[in-house]
Chain A
């Protein structure tokens, strides 16, 4: 905080209502299903920005580029020679049992060998200032649009906060995304595939389509003919799609390859992709690399593929799959956080300290019965961030989702989504769990 001009910094805080009003006006929402009913909620914005110093950001940037490059190498390897398995770095159990591993992607090389075009890497800063990676999201990480539009509107509501502080302009995300999509374009227009208006992240889909100049499409507008993907137009003609930034999960992408009951997929899309006629952003099958179990091995991947020491640390993690780790987990369950590897969005996260004695014993048995299903992590003492709560400043847990885009080069967006928990006793920051977001200022010097 000392590196920013606090007087003007507080200008943003003083205009909190105006900023939230503008965000509301621009429809910054996310959808949530509760008891089977769809509700759209405004994503609460906190005006006190997270500030990351230029020096900190340089280190984070370097670490993230390294990590994502290694993950891309891993994905290529896993769907081809699997050297990392044959060399004994990762046990094969962790590959083939992973829900994210898709045998249907074996042998496919996406254009320019990029698998994870947009990586959402979740980090937390501990009280000692050290940054830790919490998880990698390499399938369809969402959230970039929120800080993007928030910055646009905050600059209107609190201009001096920006003129008096040296903050890197983050408004080039759409351009970066466009470049990334173009790098994987196999000839045709850019399109963003959405499951539709009632998807939780629909605002983001449409906002990014608007700002990247891509066409926002749903499956019923698309078809594959002679292994080429087309959009059906209203005049009866067809337009070729060269790159598809899909915002639907792998298993729903193509009913002829994956789930036959999928109503939101495009028949034969995988054939078009396999033939190299369309780029799919992110590549199907990436789930094998962002599996919470694989997370444990990412530092090993960095050494294996890049021959480098990892710059960013993982949160200390234990795999009950290994006997030694199982023993540690059993002995320390009450102070660890346990994550179900198959869950996402803040679900399947259990803090041992929150469980009663009976529940703890019950959970212990579940872990012993299904060791591959869980990972255990030390609870990191997050650095709390100030947020404004009914006019008062209170401290809350927050994380940072950094966005790393892989095109010709791997680039880290100098911003990110800082999410915070509104509940003082919670570490869970996901919007679906009631969390809010704030702007992330990366200082230029």
Chain B
């Protein structure tokens, strides 16, 4: 390795985070679509999970905003645009082919707005994203580069799962996955974990009881995971 800059390592990490945030937002909205068939205010719990107020006139207004509003930082469109912003400056690392899946996703999302059945027209997006990740594995030969993207992806997933109160068994699996990625990071690089915060995470995600009691603490530690280690004299 050796030729990856600080700027690019940061971009790789956020590419992973935003792509995953887009994917999970999309998946969550798909579930909400289904839920709202029976309960028109079914989206409110989602807002509560993220500490957001219900300022939407109805479920359609909510869905439109969370899917397409680029000014809503929690929307799928916003996340995808940020993923693309990071991906476009990484072409030589991730390849044109990989980047093309983000462009396809953008086009598919935009076109879905005018379709009579939005939910149906969004289905290909999942395939596109699976292809994106397949392309990441296929075209990136440098393990460190790939690992940084995966750290972003798994950390984002863990963060969102905890915020959405996913069951412990699911969260635990994702935490183990993140730990595996973290252990591959060389010392003295920006994504080397902070021992103190990793220890807190291990503690708070140790058992179902701990997780349920200390989710906030776990989320906070996750946010500090890459803080520089304190130097003790």
Residues of A within 8 A of B (CB): 24-27, 149, 189, 196-197, 202, 206-207, 209-210, 213-218, 220-221, 231-237, 239
Contact = CB atoms under 8 A, between A and B. Distances in A.
Given A25-B100, A27-B100, A207 B91 contact: yes
Contacts of B100: 25-27
A215 B103 contact: no
B109 to A, nearest CB: 14
Given A26-B100, A210-B92, 9 more contacts: A24-B107, A27-B103, A149-B96, A197-B88, A207-B96, A216-B92, A233-B1, A235-B188, A239-B3
Interface of B: 1-9, 85, 88-89, 91-92, 95-96, 99-100, 103-104, 107, 186, 188-190
Contacts of A233: 1-6
A221 B7 contact: yes
B189 A235 contact: yes
Contacts of A210: 91-92, 95-96
B88 A234 contact: no
A231 B89 contact: no
* Most central of A25, A26, A215, A234 by chain B CB within 10 Å: A234
A239 to B, nearest CB: 5
A215 B3 CA distance: 8
A210 B9 CA distance: 17
B7 A218 contact: yes
A234 B189 contact: yes
Given A197-B85, A206-B91, A234 B4 contact: yes
Contacts of B3: 189, 215, 231, 233, 239
Given A197-B85, A210-B91, A234 B96 contact: no
A231 B4 CA distance: 9
A320 to B, nearest CB: 45
Nearest to B88: A197
Question: Chain B's interface: helix, strand, loop or mixed, by majority?
Answer: helix
* Most central of A25, A196, A220 by chain B CB within 10 Å: A25
A209 B91 contact: yes
The 7 closest A-B pairs by CB, nearest first: A206-B91, A209-B92, A234-B9, A221-B5, A210-B92, A234-B6, A25-B100
A392 to B, nearest CB: 26
A220 B7 CA distance: 9
A216 B5 CA distance: 10
B152 to A, nearest CB: 14
A24 B110 CA distance: 14
Given A189-B3, A234-B4, A216 B91 contact: yes
Contact of B107 (A25, A217, A235, A236): A25
Contacts of B1: 233, 235
A27 B7 contact: no
Contacts of A220: 7
B199 to A, nearest CB: 24
A25 B104 contact: yes
Contacts of B5: 217, 221, 231-234
Nearest to A214: B92
Contact of A239 (B2, B9, B103): B2
Contacts of A235: 1-2, 186, 188-189
17 contacts: A24-B107, A25-B100, A26-B103, A27-B88, A27-B96, A189-B3, A202-B88, A206-B91, A210-B92, A210-B96, A215-B3, A217-B5, A232-B6, A233-B1, A233-B3, A234-B6, A234-B8
A189 B1 CA distance: 13
Contact of B88 (A25, A149, A206, A218): A206
A149 to B, nearest CB: 8
A236 B188 contact: yes
* Most central of B96, B104, B189 by chain A CB within 10 Å: B96
* Most central of B9, B92, B189, B190 by chain A CB within 10 Å: B92
A149 B190 CA distance: 35
A43 to B, nearest CB: 14
A205 to B, nearest CB: 9
Contacts of A216: 89, 91-92
Contacts of A196: 89
Nearest to B8: A234
Nearest to B89: A197
B95 to A, nearest CB: 6
Nearest to A26: B100
* Most central of A27, A218, A236 by chain B CB within 10 Å: A27
Contacts of B92: 206, 209-210, 213-216
A142 B88 CA distance: 19
Nearest to A21: B107
A196 B11 CA distance: 13
Nearest to B192: A235
Contacts of B103: 24-27
A240 B157 CA distance: 37
Contact of A206 (B4, B89, B104, B190): B89
A264 to B, nearest CB: 14
A157 B36 CA distance: 43
A437 B85 CA distance: 26
Contact of A26 (B85, B96, B186, B189): B96
A207 B92 CA distance: 7
Contacts of B188: 235-236
A426 to B, nearest CB: 30
Contacts of B88: 27, 197, 202, 206
Nearest to A209: B92
Contacts of B7: 218, 220-221
